[in-house]
Amino acid sequence: MTILVTGGAGYIGSHAAVELLNNGYDIVLLDNLSNSQIESINRIKELTGKDFPFYPIDLLNRGELETLFAKYDFKAVMHFAGLKAVGESVEIPLNYYHNNITGTINLCEVMAKYEVKKLVFSSSATVYGNPERVPIDESFPLSATNPYGRTKLMIEEILRDLYVSDSTWRIALLRYFNPIGAHESGRIGENPNGIPNNLMPYISQVAIGKREMLSVFGNDYETHDGTGVRDFIHVVDLVRGHLKALQYLENNEGIETFNLGTGTGYSVLDLINTFQSVTSQKIPYQFVERRAGDIGICFANPEKADKVLGWKAEKNLEEMCRDTWNWQRNNPNGYETSNDILLHEI
């Protein structure tokens, strides 16, 4: 059974590729390498001892996408490809709308043409906007406060419309909370370009000495210590949820939405303290103003995924910190290689 993984060279896609291969799936991996490095593909092969085709294709290139679908008999698609930086999306909104939305429409059109109608989509808890209360379940009202979030919201709606128009589609919309951590081998992990926007990559770059000090955005939220609270989830747990969703789509029709979170919220200071105690690295930090657009508390009610998919996050905050540090320590400069050598030609 061959699964197409879009965005498979990226942080979450590379972990999903390992999990799929380790569970007996064949994969074809597609990525335009706009936010990833080809070395991650080599590492996936090394970790699993399995080979697979990789195509440096852009979802915006409809012709190349069709050639790929003509060549392989895909059973389903895991769709990770997309741009994801909130701040950047405010600066260059048209790029975000074009890349994420047009890319997804192209993908779905080609899937429909080749009768591949099972899709697992990477959505985000950002579609809940500023939630009225926690824990957040899938029926909460949806909103978005920036172009990135709006692309996720719009794609969810486009996929619901697609299903209404053709009920042979089977679609899982997976709303991720805050994925952190890395594969326990330390061979693949998150490899942000430039200054990290997100908390965990920033902490680990302070730990390795690439950044001097962490700025904690706000200590006056209504939380147990005043800092923001999030539902951090280990990336390996997260991708296991994708395999469960894939199995679900094999047996069930329709379009379903699932929160992928642990159900537990930890604060920024909780994460810093746990990271320090697990790694014995000191993380200097200072409190600064709240970051514009941030919310105080966000954590999931993950019961639906448990009941319907039989999936639950298993890894704790210590493991998330340990594995992040293992990756960072072993790869202080990320994958470090250039994308010049491409592995396969279409």
Supply the minimum distance, in Å, between the C-beta of residue 46 and ligand NAD: 18
In the residue annotation, 221 being an active-site residue is answered as no
What's the min distance (Å) between Cβ of 38 and ligand UD1?
23
**Would you count residue 291 as binding ligand UD1 (CB under 6 A)?**
yes
Under the criterion CB under 6 A, does residue 284 sit at the interface with ligand UD1? no
Judged by DSSP in three states, 137 sits in coil
| CA–CA dist 66, 108 (Å, integer) | 11
Mind giving me the DSSP string for 202-260?
Answer: HHHHHHTTSSS-EEEE-S-SSSSSSS-EE-EEEHHHHHHHHHHHHHHHHH--EEEEEEE
The Cα 135–Cα 300 span in angstroms is 5
The verdict on 254 binding ligand UD1 (CB under 6 A) reads: no
**Residue closest to ligand NAD when measured from CB atoms:** 10
Contact between 228 and 296 (Cβ < 8 Å):
yes
SS3 assignment, position 276: helix
Q: Is the CB of 53 or the CB of 334 nearer to ligand UD1?
A: 334
Please, which residue, 81 or 168, has the CB nearer to ligand NAD? 81
Query: What tokens were used for 181?
Result: 């951590």
Nearer to ligand UD1, 40 or 223 (CB): 223
Radius of gyration of the CA atoms of the chain, in A: 19
Structure-block tokens of residue 98: 């074009």
H or E element: which one contains 319? helix 317-330
Instruction: Give me the catalytic one of 11, 25, 128, 148.
Output: 148
Instruction: Determine which residue in the list 284, 293, 310, 332 makes contact with ligand UD1, applying CB under 6 A.
Output: 293
- CA–CA dist 76, 115 (Å, integer): 10
Q: Which residues bind ligand NAD (CB under 6 A)?
A: 7, 9-13, 31-36, 58-60, 80-84, 99, 103, 122, 124, 176, 179
What would the DSSP string read from start to end of 11-61? HHHHHHHHHHHHTT-EEEEE---SS--THHHHHHHHHHT----EE---TT-
Assess 204 for contact with ligand UD1 (CB under 6 A): no
Q: Which does 216 bind (CB under 5 to 8 A by kind): ligand NAD, ligand UD1, none?
A: ligand UD1
Question: Is residue 202 part of the contact set for ligand UD1 (CB under 6 A)?
Answer: yes
Closer residue to ligand NAD (CB): 198 or 273: 198
Q: From the CB of 282, what's the least distance to ligand NAD, in Å?
A: 26
274 binds ligand UD1 (CB under 6 A): no
- Contact predicate 179/14, CB 8 Å: no
State the nearest-atom distance from the C-beta of 113 to ligand NAD, in Å: 18
Contact flag: residue 123 with ligand UD1 (CB under 6 A) = no
Query: Both tokens of residue 308?
Result: 């319907």
- Going residue by residue from 57 to 96, which x/- string records binding to ligand UD1, judged by CB under 6 A? -----------------------------x----------
Is residue 217 a contact residue for ligand UD1 (CB under 6 A)?
A: yes
Sequence-ordered alpha helix ranges (H) in 59-146: 62-71, 86-91, 93-96, 103-113
Could you give the string, one character per residue 301-320, with x where binding to ligand UD1 holds by CB under 6 A and - elsewhere?
--------------------
| Residue 216 binds ligand UD1 (CB under 6 A) | yes
What, of ligand UD1, ligand NAD, none, does residue 99 touch, CB below 5 to 8 Å by kind?
Answer: ligand NAD
State the angle between helix axes of 199-207 and 317-330 in degrees (0 to 180), rounded to the nearest 10: 50
Q: How far is the CB of 194 from ligand NAD (least distance, A)?
A: 13
As a whole number of angstroms, the distance between CA 60 and CA 72 comes to 19
Using CB under 6 A as the criterion, which residues of the chain lie in contact with ligand UD1 when the complex forms? 86, 124, 126, 149, 178, 197-199, 202, 214-217, 228, 230, 268, 291, 293-294
Residues marked as catalytic: 148
